[in-house]
Amino acid sequence: MENHNHTALISKLLTCVAACENCATECLKEEDVKMMAGCIALDRDCADICSQAARLLQRNSVIAHQYLLLCEEICRLCAAECSKHQHQHCQDCAKACMECAEACHAHHEPITQD
Amino acid sequence: MENHNHTALISKLLTCVAACENCATECLKEEDVKMMAGCIALDRDCADICSQAARLLQRNSVIAHQYLLLCEEICRLCAAECSKHQHQHCQDCAKACMECAEACHAHHEPITQD
Amino acid sequence: MENHNHTALISKLLTCVAACENCATECLKEEDVKMMAGCIALDRDCADICSQAARLLQRNSVIAHQYLLLCEEICRLCAAECSKHQHQHCQDCAKACMECAEACHAHHEPITQD
Amino acid sequence: MENHNHTALISKLLTCVAACENCATECLKEEDVKMMAGCIALDRDCADICSQAARLLQRNSVIAHQYLLLCEEICRLCAAECSKHQHQHCQDCAKACMECAEACHAHHEPITQD
């Protein structure tokens, strides 16, 4: 596993972090914040996990490619929630999450589960 | 999922973070740092991932219990490496990682893999 | 700077992280989420910064004691906001933040500012 | 404070994170790891703090501009250490840290210290 092979993936992850941070902040300014509660919670988890994934890839961690499986999962959950709302920040976030999920899917490795 | 059920698990996770941070710092002071390189790298990943796991549990995240699968995996890898070294900080870290892995194992949920 | 001198401080920091994570999650469930928006935003910053502070102390970082100045500042801001609300999670969070701010204050070092 | 004004600063922060992660990983592979111990420790702190700074800016946190003061400090410390070593990863890291320190310096706000 080499850093230079992961430039595009890392870029998707960091774009997703930025979109999630922005979406959560903008959701908190919306008139109906209550409706955005699920979005705010998922944005936070998704930003945290994608940020960690980027750093594991950047340091060539042995766990990086397994971590992407988790990352894909939270990106899909966050995209599904954000896509329900018409706010531009939600639509932008849904798009970034979906593209990130697909990039993670192309690179992840299985985790041993028992 | 309720916070109060996870007190013991969160405690194991945070103990593991502290042991990994301490082990990495002490490894960097050892005479033969080269021999400790694998340990230092795994300590870092394990501290990052266990710290994130604790916070996902504390916020009752929907992804928390799936995250524990990943957490168990990195704890086992870090414990296996640390247990090879006789330094007290390595032995302490191996023990904290193994106990944390077992606590994660008891609580994790499967991740959909395809 | 030795880890064993910082047990009480690290404990305050980690208690504050847990209180902030819990408060943000509970705020998102409140009927009037809009009123809690400032609280949710500060909880997040405070949890992130206190968590990082604990880890810098655990690894005996050269920047740890300067970091506590920042940590004290965000704890005071979060405590001030949370203390405005009567919810138990807000009152608990305000208390944890205030105690953490005081512990940070007792240990921080100045940062060169120019 | 608006996100769109901080694109260049956030880019410098994320470039610095990547350079620090890479430098730490490569230092661990060097023949004389012991000589790189200070570098590895500072790389880690610098990556953690710059990553957090980027996220505070992305979420328009009230503490973001004060945080940059701390960020500048750790970037200068890391640059000073890395610049002592002739490895390409150290030279690259020193350059990224120095540019990041200057970007932080241009945007930071004072912290109340007493």
The DSSP line for D25-67 is HHHTTSS-GGGGHHHHHHHHHHHHHHHHHHHHHHTT-TTHHHH
Closest-CA residue of chain D to B29: D37
Tell me the per-residue pLDDT of B9-45, one tens digit each, with 9 for 90 and over.
999 999 999 999 999 999 999 998 889 999 999 999 9
Instruction: Please compute the mean of the pLDDT values over residues A8-24 and round it to a whole number.
Output: 98
Closest-CA residue of chain D to B27: D37
Which residue would you say has higher pLDDT here, D111 or C81? C81
The answer for C 79-108 residues in CB contact with D (under 8 A) is none
Average pLDDT of chain C, as a whole number:
93
> What residues contact A105, with CB distance under 8 A and at least 6 apart?
A68, A72
Q: Choose the weakest-confidence range: C100-104, D35-39, D109-113.
A: D109-113
Which domain range does residue B19 map to? Answer: 3-105
Q: How far apart are CA C77 and CA B111, in angstroms?
A: 38
Which pLDDT score, from 0 to 100, does residue D109 have?
Answer: 80
Average pLDDT of chain A, as a whole number:
93
Q: Domain count of chain C?
A: 1
Which pLDDT score, from 0 to 100, does residue C91 have?
Answer: 97
Structural domain includes residue B114: no
Token pair, residue B98, equals 């193994």
Instruction: Say whether D69 and C41 touch across the interface (CB within 8 A).
Output: no
Which pLDDT score, from 0 to 100, does residue B17 have?
Answer: 98
Structural domain includes residue B112: no
**How many contacts (CB atoms, under 8 Å) link A and D?**
32
* Chain D residues with CB-CB distance to B44 below 8 A: 44
Structural domain includes residue A113: no
Structural domain includes residue B110: no
Instruction: Say whether D33 and B37 touch across the interface (CB within 8 A).
Output: yes
Residue A96 vs residues A4, A14, B41, C82, D72: alpha-carbon distances, Å:
22, 10, 30, 33, 30
CB neighbour class for A95 (10 Å; exposed up to 12, middle 13-18, buried from 19): middle
Instruction: Say whether A58 and D14 touch across the interface (CB within 8 A).
Output: no
CATH number at residue D89: 1.20.1270.360
Residue C34 has pLDDT above 80, yes or no: yes
Band (pLDDT 50/70/90 cuts) for residue A109 is: confident
Which residue would you say has higher pLDDT here, C113 or C10? C10
* Percent of chain B surpassing pLDDT 70: 93
Using DSSP, state whether C67 is helix, strand or coil: helix
Smallest Cβ–Cβ distance between D73 and the set C42, C48, C66 belongs to C66
Residue C67 vs residues A23, C21, C62, C63: alpha-carbon distances, Å:
28, 20, 10, 6
**How many contacts (CB atoms, under 8 Å) link A and C?**
24
Instruction: Say whether A59 and D18 touch across the interface (CB within 8 A).
Output: no
Residue A83 backbone dihedrals phi, psi, to 5 degrees: -70, -15
Q: A: neighbours with 3+ CB pairs under 8 Å? A: B, C, D
Instruction: Say whether C33 and A37 touch across the interface (CB within 8 A).
Output: yes
A31 touches chain C (CB under 8 A): yes
Which pLDDT score, from 0 to 100, does residue D5 have?
Answer: 65
Instruction: Please compute the mean of the pLDDT values over residues D56-82 and round it to a whole number.
Output: 97
Which pLDDT score, from 0 to 100, does residue B110 have?
Answer: 79
Average pLDDT of chain D, as a whole number:
93
Structural domain includes residue C103: yes
Residue D113 has pLDDT above 70, yes or no: no
Structural domain includes residue C112: no
Tell me the per-residue pLDDT of A82-93, one tens digit each, with 9 for 90 and over.
999 999 999 999
Q: How far apart are CA C75 and CA C70, in angstroms?
A: 9
Token look-up 């996220």 returns D55
Structural domain includes residue D103: yes
Q: What is the DSSP string of B47-64?
A: HHHHHHHHHHHHTT-TTH
